[in-house]
Chain A
């Protein structure tokens, strides 16, 4: 993405033109990733054409519950967020950080080119883009820059899809990350009906791209329709969470009885953290070839919910489930502010939907706001 300059133009496209846009992106040598139906869910995966989108399919989201359902129309983007977030593409589940070979002079690192792929994200959601911006702050911005992440993030083309409806576990409006994408995209689409798409141009690359398909300037009437739809989504979020004062709340409720209550319901399974688009905890594994001539270091997704994650000499720092859940929530919504200058939550609702037992952080925050115990 490049800066858009002063103008944030909007145009209108037909569905045919949008299909042409996908082809143009592919012609430029991009692998296109976006939402598609697989294994009973809408996941992010390879798209060959517009036809691979979940056309006429929606998803019903509730705590610990996800079901696909048909829609009455043929909407391309009439769904919400699925189990995958964009971190699968950038902070990949298992990455080889380096390999080395044994030589008479000691170990020599095997030079390898950084992963190179022209990636286009198509139809990704505002909350997910906000999450990418958060992970960028964590993984790109200081002395501990993650080079594999940086290589995968480089030169990614982003076509966002604004949300004209909100899911049962969504609360991006509370976290101020949606339902309309404000930054981090080359183009942002708002689907008005089966054949009308309003498109905001977010960068010069995006501007050049739309020149290759038929389009017209968006009329005031279309813009107003888009505004009403986005407004409707914002006022019909499945969840809400007052973001104000969370940092202080979490810093002052460490002994609240609610934590024990949560620990009696939580499985400690880590599904919440591995579904979360901003969680970034990983662990290192050293591997060797059987004959000991080669070694490699892997970076693998891990979670503050595992006992081993806080293991130091002599034992785990957070041996109880209560301590582990509390670590997660107090970091995500509290100390994240001190560390990275924002909340760690974008309100995507995945941790609620994909918790097998439906633990809902918005509900837990409401409970923590009540005076605790006796």
Chain B
């Protein structure tokens, strides 16, 4: 058997949910542990194997000067760097601070603000170092993680479609919630991967997987407005786990500026 690839799992500003998806692999966990060497995974093991690593899975966003340095070290010691989850790929829910005055926020929350050393923004890993692949989701889908590891081990391309959630929804045969119940759903502009989890339970898509590869947010927001959803609610829809992802951020700003009716300038257009 060829040498097992050495895998490291890193945490930045995040909730650990994506790392837990790896532990959640239950049935497949033993097979994974046999196929790869988990060299560094503080969440799961006391072994702290030194680099270099073949694959680094990085969870979390960059919110402190210290982390901005640490991610460079991780990059230096990793052949392949994969970000896992909304925090690492777009900045996460904590990127809501990017829209606010952080000094004021800290003063509101902490009794001794001077103890807090934080950047004014929460930013994705790709803003700091080159990233080889991004796994979307809040949290990531364990099947996608397994697919990534599987594809890496077998030297093939992972099957991780970047189109809209609607295709997964249609494959499952779920009658569209927008059409049957006028429920605002971010599925048409959201990256696939969850298997249309929320629409399957009659909830509109929350956009956990961030923007699809060609999101046309303007007509979607206009449509929400035309079905009676107020502008603030539409703005908040886009200010979720991927608020800092460019297409969602821009659409939220359009809403807050009352510019939602402006023609689309999104990249999908020619």
Instruction: Show the binding face of A for B, using Cβ within 8 Å.
Output: 38-41, 43, 64-67, 82-84, 88, 93-94, 263-271, 274-275, 285-292, 300-303, 305-308, 319-323, 353-354, 356-357
Residues of B within 8 Å of A301, CB to CB, are 167, 170-171
Most buried by A among B35, B171, B178, B223: B178
Find out whether the CB atom of B153 lies under 8 angstroms from the CB atom of A264: no
Inter-subunit contact A264/B219 (CB<8 Å):
yes
A356 to B180, CA, bound (A): 10
Bound CA–CA A289/B35 (angstroms) = 11
Contacts of B202 in A (CB 8 A): 39
- Closest Cβ of chain B to A87, distance in Å, is 11
Give A61's nearest chain B residue, CB to CB: B179
Given A269-B188, A308-B162 in contact, is the A356-B223 Cβ separation under 8 Å?
yes
Residues of B with C-beta under 8 A to A64: 178-179, 223
Contact with A along B198-219 (1 / 0, CB 8 A): 0000100000000001101011
Which residues of the other chain, A, contact B163 by a CB distance below 8 angstroms? 270, 303, 305-308
B interface vs A, CB < 8 Å? Answer: 28, 31-32, 35, 146, 149-151, 153-154, 156, 159, 161-164, 166-167, 170-176, 178-181, 185, 187-189, 202, 213-214, 216, 218-220, 223, 263-264, 268-270
Provide the bound-state CA to CA distance between A319 and B213, in Å.
10
B175 contacts A82, C-beta separation under 8 Å: yes
Q: Is the CB of B178 within 8 A of A356?
A: yes
What are 20 A-B pairs with beta-carbon distances under 8 A? A39-B180, A39-B202, A40-B181, A41-B175, A64-B179, A66-B176, A83-B176, A88-B173, A267-B188, A270-B163, A271-B188, A274-B167, A274-B170, A290-B28, A290-B31, A307-B162, A307-B163, A321-B269, A356-B178, A356-B223
Residues of B within 8 A of A291 (CB): 31, 35
In the assembled complex, the CB of A32 is this many whole angstroms from the nearest CB of chain B, namely: 18
Is A94 a contact partner of B179 (Cβ separation < 8 A)?
A: no
Q: Is the CB of A322 within 8 A of B270?
A: yes
A306 touches B154 (CB 8 A): no
Q: Which residue of A lies closest to B159 (CB)?
A: A285
Q: Which residues of B contact A356 (CB under 8 A)?
A: 166, 176, 178-179, 185, 188, 220, 223
Q: Are A271 and B176 in contact (CB under 8 A)?
A: yes
- Nearest chain A residue, comparing its CB with the CB of B187: A269
**B166 A269 Cβ-Cβ under 8 A:** yes
B174 with A270: CB separation less than 8 A: no
Q: Decide: B166 and A357 in contact? CB cutoff 8 A.
A: no
Q: Which residues of B contact A285 (CB under 8 A)?
A: 159
CB-CB nearest in chain B for A270: B167
Q: Which chain B positions have C-beta within 8 A of A274?
A: 166-167, 170-171
Question: Knowing that A320-B269, A322-B269 are A-B contacts, what are 9 other residue pairs whose CB atoms are under 8 Å apart, sorted by A's residue number?
Answer: A38-B175, A41-B175, A93-B170, A93-B173, A269-B187, A270-B170, A290-B150, A306-B161, A321-B214
Shortest distance from the beta carbon of A154 to any chain B beta carbon, whole Å? 23
- On chain B, the residues within 8 Å of A300 by CB distance are 171
The answer to whether A268 touches B164 (Cβ under 8 A) is yes
Asked if residues B170 and A290 are in contact (CB atoms below 8 Å), the reply is no
Among B151, B179, B264, the residue within 8 A (CB) of A354 is B179
Minimum CB–CB distance from B267 to chain A (whole Å) comes to 9
Cα distance A300–B170 when bound, in Å?
A: 12
Q: How far is the CB of A285 from chain B (nearest CB, A)?
A: 5
List of A residues within 8 angstroms of B149 by Cβ: 290
Which of B35, B156, B268, B270 has a CB less than 8 Å from the CB of A290? B35
Q: Give A66 to B172 CA distance when docked, in angstroms.
A: 18
**Are B174 and A39 in contact (CB-based, < 8 A)?**
yes
A88: B residues at CB distance < 8 A: 173
Q: Smallest Cβ distance from B214 to chain A, in angstroms?
A: 5
In Å, the complex CA distance between A264 and B151 comes to 37
- Which chain B residues border A266 with CB–CB below 8 Å? 216, 219
**Which one of A39, A66, A263, A322 has the highest number of Cβ atoms from chain B below 10 Å of its Cβ?**
A39
Q: What A residues does B218 contact at CB under 8 A?
A: 264
For residue B164, give the distance in angstroms from its CB to the closest CB of chain A. Answer: 5
B216 touches A323 (CB 8 A): no
Assembly CA distance A110 to B104 (angstroms): 64
CA gap between A347 and B164 in the complex, in Å: 26
In the bound complex, residues from chain B placing their C-beta under 8 Å from that of A320 are: 268-270
Nearest neighbor of B170 in chain A, beta-carbon distance: A274
Could you say which residues of chain B place their CB within 8 Å of the CB of A82?
175
Q: In the complex, what's the smallest C-beta–C-beta distance from A329 to chain B, in angstroms?
A: 16
- Closest Cβ of chain B to A280, distance in Å, is 14
A263 touches B161 (CB 8 A): no
Within the complex, what minimum Cβ distance (angstroms) separates B193 from chain A?
Answer: 14
Q: Which residues on the B side are within 8 Å of A94 (C-beta)?
A: 171
**Interchain CB contact under 8 A, A43 and B164:** no
In the complex, the answer to whether A264 meets B176 with C-beta atoms within 8 Å is no
CB distance from A258 to the nearest CB of B (A): 14
Shortest distance from the beta carbon of A93 to any chain B beta carbon, whole Å: 4
Whether B171 contacts A65 by the Cβ 8 Å rule is no
Residues of A within 8 A of B189 (CB): 267, 269
What residues on A are CB-neighbors of B219 within 8 Å? 264-267, 357
Q: Is the CB of B150 within 8 A of A40?
A: no
Q: Do B180 and A306 touch (CB < 8 A)?
A: no
Residues of B within 8 A of A265 (CB): 219
Q: Which residue of B lies closest to A65 (CB)?
A: B179
Q: Which of A270, A287, A288, A292 contacts B164 (CB 8 A)?
A: A270
| Alpha-carbon distance A84/B180, docked complex (angstroms) | 13
Task: Let me know if B269 and A263 touch, CB within 8 A.
Answer: yes
3 pairs of A and B residues whose beta carbons are closest in the complex: A320-B270, A269-B188, A274-B170
A64–B270 alpha-carbon span in the complex (Å): 25
